[in-house]
Structure 1
Amino acid sequence: MMSGSIVSTNRENFMPLALLPLLLLIVPILEITVFILVGNVIGLWPTLGLVVGSAIIGALLLRSQGISTLLRIQKEVAAGRVPGRDMVHGVMIVVAGVLLLTPGLVTDAVGYLLFIPAVREAGWRFLKSRVVALPMGGGWRRAPDAPSRPVAGVVELEVEEFERRPASPDSPWVDGRGGTLH
């Protein structure tokens, strides 16, 4: 069982958080505009039906794809491998479900795209070179036949290469009560 993980990101490759308030303003305006345009073409009730039907379909897709992804993650963990790819797919599936449950046609379109495995795989390829998840607490062990991939700034040691000693009182890894921080 994993007790936590450290996620390291290469910040210059990600959208700055300063753009988040702008997105929170633009997305609702875009949703209202598209809702009005679609309503003018197909009518109010069919447009509302489209939004409600999309939420129902999104919930069903979230359930089916979410369960299968959780099963793959459990299988990877049981095999002693870090399920990075499946975890990213799982997060994208949850985001897709939230987008489909959110009223709006633009968010529905993005949500449906995230349910397509090829789109999620493209997202995984984009993220895997930019985000590194490191297990904490020794929850994951690499399978004996799994190749070792070096991670910048991380030194991997075999059991024979280190020894555990009590922490000194002035160590930054001591919590002040005599225990060590993990």
Structure 2
Amino acid sequence: MRIPLAILLLLPLAEIATFVFVGKYIGVLATLALIILSGVVGLLLLRIQGAGVLRRLQTESRNEKGSAREITRGAMIVVGAFLLLIPGFLTDILGILLFIPFVREFVWSLVRPHVTFAGASHFSYRTNTSSTERDTGRSTVIDLDTEDYQREPNRQSPWSSVRDGRED
């Protein structure tokens, strides 16, 4: 938990330092133009690649042959495009790297032990489990089918349209 928090806190500082460094060498206007250009490229890639990823996932889910690798690969492409949208050179570099196939394969090799895929309707990512969970083999995940779960309106909610058995 500490590493993501440190990244979240230090990334803006690193981006600002990179802006200053790049701006010193190529000028303020060129730096701003690069930032705007990377945002436009990220938006275009998100639109093109994101739509392609969604189409592939829909096709695979219809055929019931979806794979965790394809889902993760698609997610990395979308994350890469979002990183290009975020103003900053460091996030742009990370975003561009996620569009390179062998980098995605490397990330997949790191993520694979944490991914569980049991068909088109169930995909989960798990973090490190506690030692007692590993020892006992018990998991805290409860997997319900659609017929096992029923959602009823909360009559106590102030936003509920059903109160005291009558419709508002």
Give the number of the structure whose residues are more often helix, by fraction: 2
Please tell me whether the aligned partners of residues 76 and 104 of structure 2 are also in contact (alpha carbons under 8 angstroms).
yes
Query: What TM-score comes out, normalization by structure 2 length?
Result: 0.68
Query: Hey, what's the Cα distance between the residues in 2 that align with 1:86 and 1:95?
Result: 14
Counterpart for residue 78 of structure 1: 62
Deviation, 1:19, is 2.1
Out of 61, 65, 88, the residue aligned to residue 72 of structure 2 is 88
User: Where in structure 1 are there 5+ consecutive unaligned residues?
Assistant: 1-16, 141-152, 154-171
Counterpart for residue 38 of structure 2: 54
Residues 48-84 of structure 1, C-alpha deviations (whole Å, 9 max, x = no match)? 0000000001111111111222222122222221331
CA RMSD, 1 decimal: 2.7
Please tell me whether the aligned partners of residues 49 and 78 of structure 2 are also in contact (alpha carbons under 8 angstroms).
no
Residues 9-64 of structure 1, C-alpha deviations (whole Å, 9 max, x = no match)? xxxxxxxx222221112111110111101000000000000000000011111111
Q: Number of residues paired by the alignment?
A: 131
- Percent of pairs with identical residues: 38
Query: Hey, what's the Cα distance between the residues in 1 that align with 2:75 and 2:92?
Result: 17
User: Where in structure 2 are there 5+ consecutive unaligned residues?
Assistant: 123-136, 151-168
Query: Hey, what's the Cα distance between the residues in 2 that align with 1:85 and 1:112?
Result: 20
Please tell me whether the aligned partners of residues 173 and 181 of structure 1 are also in contact (alpha carbons under 8 angstroms).
no
Higher relative contact order (CA 8 A, sep 6+): 1
Counterpart for residue 119 of structure 1: 103
Counterpart for residue 181 of structure 1: 149
Query: What TM-score comes out, normalization by structure 1 length?
Result: 0.63
Counterpart for residue 38 of structure 1: 22
